[in-house]
Chain A
Amino acid sequence: MTDIASTLRAFVRENFLFGQDTPFSDEDSFLGLGIIDSTGVLELVALLEKQFAIHVADDELVPENLDSIHNLVRFVERKRAKQEEALASSRA
């Protein structure tokens, strides 16, 4: 498991499951599991912005980016790659 994934899993278990040992896979939808609501999404975004130093725009708030550990990891990696690219081109 990547660092990003393990951080996110720990966050979900702590904040959405309050430590319940409900099993969930990296592909499981948080909505499908019934463990996330609108305030949960906002908490998740706050974590992404703080922990991974990325900015999440309104129209990026979609299940394809946020609704499973797998989707989150892909989203964070994509955002970070873009930011590094932008940084590199500004230095060039």
Chain B
Amino acid sequence: MQLESFLEASARRTPDKTALVAGRWRWTYAELDASANRLAHGLLAEGIERGDRVAICLENGFEAATAIFAALKAGAAFMMVNPTTKADKLRTLLDDSQAAALVAPAARLVAMAQTLAGAPGLRLAVGVGRPLPSDPAPARRCVALEDLLHSGSDAVPPKRAIDLDLAALAYTSGSTGTPKGVMLTHANLVAAISSIAGYLENTADDVILNVLPLSFGYGLCQLFTAVKVGATLVLERSFAYPHVVLQRLVEHRATGFPLVPTMAAMLLQMDLGKYDFSSLRYITNAGAALPTEHIRKLRRLLPHVRMYSMYGLTECLRASYLPPEEIDRRPDSVGRGIPNQEAYVVDEEGRRAAPGVVGELVVRGSHVMQGYWNLPAETEQRLRPGPLPGQRVLYTGDLFRTDEEGFLYFVGRKDDIIKSRGEKVSPKEVENVLCQHPDVAEAAVVGVPDAILGQAVKAVVVLRQGRAVTERDVLRHCAERLEDYMVPKLVEIRPSLPRTANGKIDKRALLSPSELPATSLAQALPQGNEAGGPGFASIPQAFSATGQGG
């Protein structure tokens, strides 16, 4: 079964039901499906072929949702790119993926044309809005999305792909600083979405209010689960104005509201008593850990709402969830494997760990990725032999323990990735950008606890001799090159960086005593665990004992 069949089936079943609400507009299932069909025909007419990658760099909205389904209907794979991605980074992603098409706002195509021109795989640029770039042109062909939407036929294009074909290429931050493309097939995504919609008990009566970017795996899940069950998805672009989002929740009588901890922290600063939450059936949390205190407060304020703590990662979208009945008993657990797949903890020899023993979480299921795009060594490290011959399971790189009943508890990460606003930030990627500054000699990036962000990105830089650069100059340099959530919140200029005995930068020593966790991760680990090995795996997490992936 192909992923886009979810939309086609819902359009047949309930053509007149509202599929999507964005801004002041709404689209029925028939309209969304027909739009995606027309755009797919347009892409095919422009030469997009089965197996091509279609990069989509758009804010949440009708165009993004339509482009995703159109790429699938054309037999291609979609590749979501955070809309705040700067030109150089986008070029890197396009070059790595050899994407054949890029869908982006026309104004951004104009601004980025110089940088994108000559990207080897890029044959087609599709602009949202006008005017389109002409000289320089970002790709060989440049067309308006609007024109493609009004040209092709409403009929479903003939099926080209099978479910072992790539449906999505999802880039995720890695500790090397170079993003890795996670390869997810139709079968992977259908398995993940069916499992998620199952445990959330989603039905056509649901109205899901989503402010998470579709470029974020957790946000993307909302689109597919809604479309699978024929529910309504209300897409918002930002949580910058929580009051406005809550007004939307009340106005549309939302039943589902996915959160990351940053959103929960902001909600808890408001007077929630002023809003009518009676329609709300469930909230979910993923991306990072919700502090136990926030879970208790939300439960007190919204006692009728089912609350799901979940854990996931791009490599399989979702790994575990805690049944809402358990949340008061084990608020710091992320539950157990999602339906039709297993999540278990293994020791260093790959044997299942006993309860209480810290080890690496392994995920086994038909939703596990095929590997990293063009990275066989990294793939081999994460996908290792499973219980059956030829079968591969996902080593998540995250450390967990279980209780006597098998419920999972997050302990820490094996790498130094920072989780800010629920999104992964690679310190190495930020350090690389910092070191591109002509006056910066050395840089180290760490995550420091932040009440709203979970972890805030902090940069410590050493300047070249005789150079005078301010913290603001450093921030500007970063803001011009990095996605918004990667830009450091704090910059400190120091004469030198602390070193360990063997000459590596001692990142723990960069943290003030208040920034260190109460108990260090090192203490929680068994002797000889490889987390103590290369790098500095014991950099504290914002919520040291209960961080969660997303």
Q: Which of A's residues lie within 8 Å of B, judged by CB?
A: 14, 17-20, 31, 34, 36-42, 58-59, 61-63, 66
B238 near A59 with CB under 8 A, answer no
Decide if B243 touches A38 in the complex (CB within 8 Å). no
In contact, B241 and A18 (Cβ under 8 angstroms) = no
Whole-angstrom distance between the alpha carbons of A19 and B477 in the complex?
A: 10
CB contact between B240 and one of A17, A38, A59 (< 8 Å): that residue = A38
Q: How far is the CB of A58 from chain B (nearest CB, A)?
A: 5
Question: Given known contacts A34-B484, A38-B452, what 18 new A-B pairs fall within 8 Å (CB)?
Answer: A18-B472, A18-B475, A18-B479, A19-B472, A19-B476, A20-B479, A31-B240, A37-B238, A37-B240, A38-B238, A38-B266, A41-B241, A59-B243, A59-B274, A61-B241, A61-B244, A63-B244, A66-B241
Interface residue? B299 (CB, 8 A): no
Contact of B243 among A19, A20, A61 (CB under 8 A): A61
Q: Are B274 and A19 in contact (CB under 8 A)?
A: no
Distance (Å) between the CB of B439 and the closest chain A CB? Answer: 15
Tell me, in angstroms, the Cα distance from A40 to B239 when the chains sit together: 11
A37 to B238, CA, bound (A): 8
Are B241 and A58 neighbours in the complex by a CB distance under 8 Å? no
**Given A14, A20, A41, A62, which contacts B480 in the complex, CB threshold below 8 Å?**
A20
How far is it, in angstroms, between the C-alpha of A19 and the C-alpha of B475 when the chains are bound?
9
> B99 → chain A, closest Cβ, in Å?
22
Question: B340 interface residue, CB < 8 Å from A?
Answer: no
Measured CA separation A17–B479 after assembly (Å): 8
Is B83 positioned at the interface, with any CB of A under 8 Å from its CB?
yes
Q: State whether A34 touches B240 (Cβ < 8 A).
A: no
Instruction: Give B81 Cβ to nearest chain A Cβ, in Å.
Output: 14
Q: How far is the CA of A59 from the CA of B476 in the complex (A)?
A: 32
Is B84 engaged at the interface, CB distance under 8 Å to the other chain?
yes
Interface flag for B468 (CB, 8 Å)? no
Task: Tell me whether B328 is interfacial, beta carbon within 8 Å.
Answer: no
Contacts of A31 in B (CB 8 A): 237-238, 240
Nearest CB in chain B to that of A61: its residue: B243
Q: Is B453 an interface residue (CB 8 A)?
A: yes
Are B242's CB and A38's CB within 8 A? yes
B251 at the interface (CB under 8 A from A): no
Q: Does B147 belong to the interface (CB within 8 Å)?
A: no
Closest to A63 in B: B241
Interface set, chain B 473-493, CB cutoff 8 A to A:
473, 475-476, 479-480, 484-485, 489
* Alpha-carbon distance between A66 and B243 when the two chains are bound, in angstroms: 13
Tell whether B262 is near chain A: CB-to-CB under 8 Å: yes
Chain A residues with Cβ below 8 Å from B84 are 34
Q: Is B270 an interface residue (CB 8 A)?
A: yes
A38→B262 contact, CB < 8 A: yes
Distance A39 CA – B472 CA, assembled complex (angstroms) = 17
Residues of B within 8 A of A19 (CB): 472-473, 476
Closest CB-CB distance, B483 to chain A, in whole Å? Answer: 10
Find out whether the CB atom of A58 lies under 8 angstroms from the CB atom of B270.
yes
Most B Cβ at <10 Å: residue of A19, A38, A61, A62: A38
CA distance in complex: A80, B484 (Å):
33
Query: What 5 A-B pairs are tightest by C-beta distance, nearest first?
Result: A18-B476, A18-B475, A38-B240, A61-B243, A41-B240
A58 near B266 (CB under 8 angstroms)?
Answer: no
B404 beta carbon closer than 8 Å to chain A: no
Closest-CB distance, A48 to chain B (whole angstroms): 15
- What's the minimum C-beta distance from B66 to chain A, rounded to whole angstroms? 21
Q: Mark B217-254, 1 if CB is under 8 A from A, else 0.
A: 00000000000000000000111111110000000000
Would you mind naming 19 contact pairs between A and B with Cβ atoms under 8 Å apart? A18-B472, A18-B473, A18-B476, A19-B473, A19-B476, A20-B476, A31-B240, A34-B83, A37-B484, A38-B240, A38-B452, A58-B270, A58-B274, A59-B243, A61-B243, A62-B243, A62-B244, A63-B241, A66-B241
- Chain B residue at smallest Cβ distance from A66: B241
Instruction: Give the one of B239, B243, B453 with max A CB within 10 A.
Output: B243
Residue of A nearest to B474 (CB): A18
In the complex the two chains form, what is the Cα distance from A34 to B483 in whole Å? 10
- Which residues does chain A contribute within 8 Å of B489, judged by CB atoms? 39
Residue of A nearest to B489 (CB): A39
Give chain A residues whose Cβ lies under 8 Å from the Cβ of B244: 61-63
B271 within 8 A of A: yes
Is A39's CB under 8 angstroms from B476's CB?
no
